[in-house]
């Protein structure tokens, strides 16, 4: 019968932890857009023009706000990079240096996504960004369907993209 008590204690702990993580993520993303996504038209660090509005015509888009100096981003970025091979992904590097510095960072860490450099944070601020990493999923109607801040998994992101389709 001891195992029942331990199981119940573990279950309560997991539920409490999940509630806290959800509350913190909601708080950090409270200023992010709801409903229609803001216009996003900018060149990436390779000079290619990225248009969110054109991309949503082909399906959901994952928008990843990150930074080279962000510790959590070092864990989340590889998952986003993996997803970028099969899903539409736009990343925005916040206050991470010049385009060449961002490109060098991505090469060093084997990150294969298209990145818009946001050296002063103006683009990120226009989206209401509070913390990095933050991920917004824009559905096929151009609406922000979910926003997640902090740690997340590849499976969690893939599920959110599937739900947005």
* Mean pLDDT over the full length of the chain: 87
Question: How many percent of the chain have pLDDT more than 90?
Answer: 57
Determine the average pLDDT of the residues in 10-37.
65
**Per-residue pLDDT tens digits for 67-109:** 999 999 999 999 999 999 999 999 999 999 999 999 999 999 9
Query: How far is residue 88's CA from residue 52's CA, in Å, rounded to a whole number?
Result: 10
Are 69 and 146 in contact, with CB atoms under 8 Å apart? no
Query: How far is residue 19's CA from residue 104's CA, in Å, rounded to a whole number?
Result: 38
Residue of 132, 156, 127, 121 whose CA lies nearest to 144: 127
Fold designation for 31-164: Glutaredoxin (3.40.30)
129: pLDDT confidence band, cut at 50, 70 and 90? confident
DSSP the chain: -HHHHHHHHHHHHHHHHHHHHHHHHHHHTTTS--EEPPP-EEE-TTS-EEEHHHHGGGS-EEEEEE-TT-TTHHHHHHHHHHHTTTSEEEEEEES---HHHHHHHHHHTT--S-EEEETTSHHHHHTT--SSSEEEEE-TTSEEEEEEES---HHHHHHHHHHH-
Can you give the pTM of this predicted structure? 0.81
Residue of 83, 89, 115 whose CA lies nearest to 102: 115
Q: Residue ranges per domain, the chain? A: 31-164
């Amino acid at each position: 019968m001891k195992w029942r008590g331990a199981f119940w204690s573990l279950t309560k702990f997991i539920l409490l932890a999940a509630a806290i993580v959800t509350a913190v993520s909601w708080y950090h993303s409270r200023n992010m857009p709801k409903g229609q996504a803001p216009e996003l038209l900018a060149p990436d660090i390779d000079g290619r023009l990225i248009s969110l509005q054109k991309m949503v015509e082909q399906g959901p888009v994952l928008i990843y706000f990150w930074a080279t100096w962000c510790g959590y981003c070092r864990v989340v970025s590889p998952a986003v990079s993996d997803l970028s091979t099969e899903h539409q992904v736009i990343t925005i590097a916040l206050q991470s240096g010049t385009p060449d510095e961002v490109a060098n960072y991505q090469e060093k860490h084997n990150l294969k996504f298209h990145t818009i450099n946001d050296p002063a944070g103006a683009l990120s601020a226009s989206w209401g960004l509070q913390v990095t990493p933050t991920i917004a999923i824009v559905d096929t109607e151009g609406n922000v369907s979910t926003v997640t801040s902090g740690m997340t998994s590849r499976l969690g992101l893939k599920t959110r993209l599937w739900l947005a389709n």
